[in-house]
Structure 1
């Protein structure tokens, strides 16, 4: 038994989309290029006393008229340009993301709990079988949905990379972190980190997306 997406489009209409910080930058530029409406707001943030900014660790893209702005019919318009990790991993998604501050060791880390979304009709159909065999085979999800499972792991690898780089800056005294400060200006963590790690766009393959965007603009 393998998970096969039916392209129903339900996941693109159900709720706002959680994004890693670099994904908000990418999607905003994509929307501008394609002349599509785009609305997002920051999620969790921590305050940096040195810069005076709340550093945003995540973003949420709002639906527009009840659907993802990049949805065309039941298909994704940016499938071959850049698809957010949470869309790639769906219906295996984070149920809870908790960011933690270890002030003594100057480390920021995340604990993430994943689960299957019953919003997906395929999961509703396969649920009883998955529950039956999950105790016998804890690794059943990696076999049932290998692409989505790998996407979730990659999402967490990148989340951990962001936090590891920020923690390094903290230990070097470049930043001084504390819980978020309401009212302070918000700065995208990815953009902040690129000031100190100029190779980050290449590491995250953002430069490849930028190239595709340039080609798209030239084509139009």
Structure 2
């Protein structure tokens, strides 16, 4: 069983390093990351499908933030035995990142800007909106190494909701401002998550700020799915 860690918007594979270390400390060593281009949902899904193919066996997909869109689509692959949503979007078929919550507008929409067709969080709002619980040094590292997505990616819809067919699990970031706790709670309920946890006060960069808690949750999921 391989765990495939999938990063979200304004993130990168390296941002999972703390979670990987936590998993190794728990005896889970078959872990890989993917590098999403964040140019289109289809392109990101194709990257994850290729990682599933290369794994050559059963996998668990763990996606943070927007990557919930990606694992919801790619999770339809037969080798996928479980889905872990890390403060992540969990759309139904036909939903995009913009339409998952038509009744609950984004609390930070005014802090977005589009520069060269890339969606960014404004410099002076990045820490408060995305990673308020990290040190200034860590925030600078995230800003420097993270990837700004294509603005159009937010409007692309999934065609298949794998959580309807696969065991799914949800870990909530209790202080998230990108995807508010209310939204995460609602998604965890909708997908009938087999296991739910919450890290109180955690920001959207929970995988960076609270890698031990995230790693422990993912390890538990992997074991329940057959590791």
TM-score, normalised relative to structure 1: 0.33
TM-score, normalised relative to structure 2: 0.32
Which structure would you say has the larger Rg? 1
